[in-house]
Amino acid sequence: MPVGTQATVKGILPRDLIGDLDAKIILGNTYHLYLRPVHETVRRQGGLHGFMAWPRAILTDSGGFQVFSLNSLRKITEEGVLFHSHLNGDPHMFTPESTIDVQMALGSDVMMVLDECIPHPATHEEARVSTDRTVRWARRAMDHFAHHDDGNRAVFPIVQGSMYGDLRRSCAEELVKLDARGYAIGGLSVGEPRPLSLEMTEITTPLLPADRPRYVMGVGMPEELPEYVARGVDMMECVLPSRNARNGCLFTRAGKISIKQNQYKDDARAVDETCGCYTCQNFSRSYLRHLFQAGEMTFSTLATLHNLRRYLDIMREIRQAILIGKYPEYLRACRAGQ
Amino acid sequence: MPVGTQATVKGILPRDLIGDLDAKIILGNTYHLYLRPVHETVRRQGGLHGFMAWPRAILTDSGGFQVFSLNSLRKITEEGVLFHSHLNGDPHMFTPESTIDVQMALGSDVMMVLDECIPHPATHEEARVSTDRTVRWARRAMDHFAHHDDGNRAVFPIVQGSMYGDLRRSCAEELVKLDARGYAIGGLSVGEPRPLSLEMTEITTPLLPADRPRYVMGVGMPEELPEYVARGVDMMECVLPSRNARNGCLFTRAGKISIKQNQYKDDARAVDETCGCYTCQNFSRSYLRHLFQAGEMTFSTLATLHNLRRYLDIMREIRQAILIGKYPEYLRACRAGQ
């Protein structure tokens, strides 16, 4: 899923998300949209779909991740979490119920429950206390949603448990009882080694219903996508392709390119000669390097178009391999770097 | 003409310059491209047309304007102008001949001669000395170009003369003897009152061949475009629509809008409800204000798309009015603010 934090995928117009990338779903960040332009403004403008002219699906996070990553002065109680706006310091409270209300105002198709996302490393006791609270919050969020459920949207509970397999398992077992329309696995990509993220995923996915979407939040590198899918994951989201693009890091079938390097100064080749994106079909590495060096925002647009296309192409390859029953072969080829 | 200083119209992809705006010609800045990525790099990448994937016409300035506006330590001699790069301080020399060579390397369709652009106000003697040199430089540039002329491109001499009608007239008379394929009027928009820019134009255009393009450099506001055309001008170029767009100033049929104002927070209307651009057809003032406040680069793209469309629509209206023989009526309506 391309990330559209503030009601826009940075540098990409909605028509290009459809026409160039055929993205089926994008992610919006509840925390950011709640603070600015304020969710009630979005509601009055037709929800996120109308506001940003995006006709396809939208998933929103609960805001929990940003509350924990952007706030040093937050205060957690059983009721919810008190935090201060990173924009102007104003105090705000998120509860399991209020974050569902905010996401309803945004008109989200797939909403997330409020969870506590703790840093890595955490002690087993810290993780247990936090995970238990996340489960209680998930129950409250689902109860609250039940009063508004028109059958047209979903709320996903989020499995936490830090890097402890027993906590991941018990959390998943409790959340499955909520009979949700899909499930997320959170608390990864918080500084742990990458093999550990995969291990936690591998422990968790078999406990979640196979006939409902399983979504790992905040991953990953291009070569990791097939690994997550191999472990039963259906959905992923990460700022990596778009943020790296803006920083000049471009993903190709043959690996990463740092476009600012001098070796690309007169390189007339496309970023990835096997890629069908607008950027690769029209512009050279030499041109892209020039735009990057000159600080031109067109660079960010062209680079993001390419990196998102690369990610979505990988997911299309994965779906195709699964459909024709060749996923093990596809995975082996990926691992061999082919 | 949309301005594409560094081989890109800021925030706009070439396909959108064609598909959304139907721009027939864009401007590139020789000074900037000479320093970065260096004109020889552009030549090796297929000229500006190939480098930036722009299939239509390109006009380049001579670099003179930037040498004078970005350099406090320049030194002018009869030979040319010595200046220091604003990027790293390296010394460089532009001569009438070398700036033609650079523009040939860029593959420009319409090139400009090196001129001296003096600030306003200047004494009559300062302006006379400078204008005489500009004429001598124009002769050298045209002589030099004659050796490379394949009939597929044009070089425009530039009429200078500060705000002195006698100097403008004598300069134009001398330059017309060069029998160029078009002429520019430079040295305007350098701080003088706007009526004076129009007055200098009105003095100059009748002296230039009516069957060849007459181009006023660096103008103007939307309401000024019909005034310049009324004085015989065929071409104009200005950073105003794109730069103002990035700063949140949007031009509409009913006047300017500063999108950051609080009054637009919940305004569901398009920027200009009579406008057919992608921005106005899909997004509200409320959304655009949000993107501006959030510092999202998508704002710059959407705002620039709109402002350039407004400018090009005005030029299309002007052409239509001329074609049907109703230009005086059109001009009267513009002046009455209709």
DSSP letters, B159-220, are: E--TT-HHHHHHHHHHHHTT--S-EEE-S-SSSS-HHHHHHHHHHHGGGS-TTS-EEEET--
**ipTM for the predicted complex:** 0.97
Nearest CB among B32, B289, B298 relative to A8 is that of B298
- Nearest alpha carbon to residue A262 among A294, A286, A241: A286
Instruction: Please indicate whether, in this complex, the C-beta atoms of B13 and A287 are within 8 angstroms of each other.
Output: no
Residues of B in contact with A301 (CB under 8 A): 11, 13, 297, 301
Q: Mutate which of B17, B296, B302, B305 to disrupt the A interface (most A C-beta within 10 Å)?
A: B296
Residue A163 is predicted with a pLDDT of: 97
Instruction: Measure A64 CA to nearest chain B CA, in Å.
Output: 20
Place of tokens 């952007």: A70
When pLDDT is cut at 50, 70 and 90, the band that residue A64 belongs to is confident
A41 lies within 8 A of chain B by CB: yes
B123 lies within 8 A of chain A by CB: no
3-state secondary structure of A271: coil
Instruction: Please indicate whether, in this complex, the C-beta atoms of B284 and A6 are within 8 angstroms of each other.
Output: no
Q: How far is the CA of B321 from the CAs of B201, B220, B281, B325, in angstroms? A: 21, 20, 25, 6
Q: How far is the CA of B28 from the CAs of A68, B41, B114, B185, B188, in angstroms? A: 47, 15, 15, 17, 19
Residue B178 is predicted with a pLDDT of: 98
Neighbours of A99 (CB within 10 A): 29
| Residue type at B1 in one-letter notation | M
Quick: pLDDT tens for A79-125: 999 999 999 999 999 999 999 999 999 999 999 999 999 999 999 99
Helix (H) or strand (E) holding B299: helix B297-323
Residues of A in contact with B33 (CB under 8 A): none
A105 lies within 8 A of chain B by CB: no
Q: What is the DSSP letter of B100?
A: H
State yes or no: pLDDT of A71 exceeds 80. no
Residue A144 is predicted with a pLDDT of: 98
Instruction: Please indicate whether, in this complex, the C-beta atoms of A13 and B283 are within 8 angstroms of each other.
Output: no
* The 3-state secondary structure of A185-231, one letter per residue: ECCCCCCCCHHHHHHHHHHHHHHCCCCCCEEEECCCCHHHHHHHHHC
CB-defined contacts A:B, below 8 A: 114
Q: Return the sign of the alpha-carbon dihedral for residues B140, B143, B146, B148.
A: negative
Q: CB neighbours of A302 closer than 8 A, spacing ≥ 6?
A: A278, A279, A283, A288, A291, B13
B258 lies within 8 A of chain A by CB: no
Quick: pLDDT tens for A134-168: 999 999 999 999 999 999 999 999 999 999 999 99
Q: CB neighbours of B274 closer than 8 A, spacing ≥ 6?
A: B253
Instruction: Measure B133 CA to nearest chain A CA, in Å.
Output: 33
| Per-position pLDDT tens, chain B of length 338 | 999 999 999 999 999 999 999 999 999 999 999 999 999 999 999 999 999 999 999 999 999 888 888 877 789 999 999 999 999 999 999 999 999 999 999 999 999 999 999 999 999 999 999 999 999 999 999 999 999 999 999 999 999 999 999 999 999 999 999 999 999 999 999 999 999 999 999 999 999 999 999 999 999 999 999 999 999 999 999 999 999 999 999 999 999 999 999 999 999 999 999 999 999 999 999 999 999 999 999 999 999 999 999 999 999 999 999 999 999 999 999 999 87
Tell me which chain A residue has its CA closest to the CA of residue B284: A51
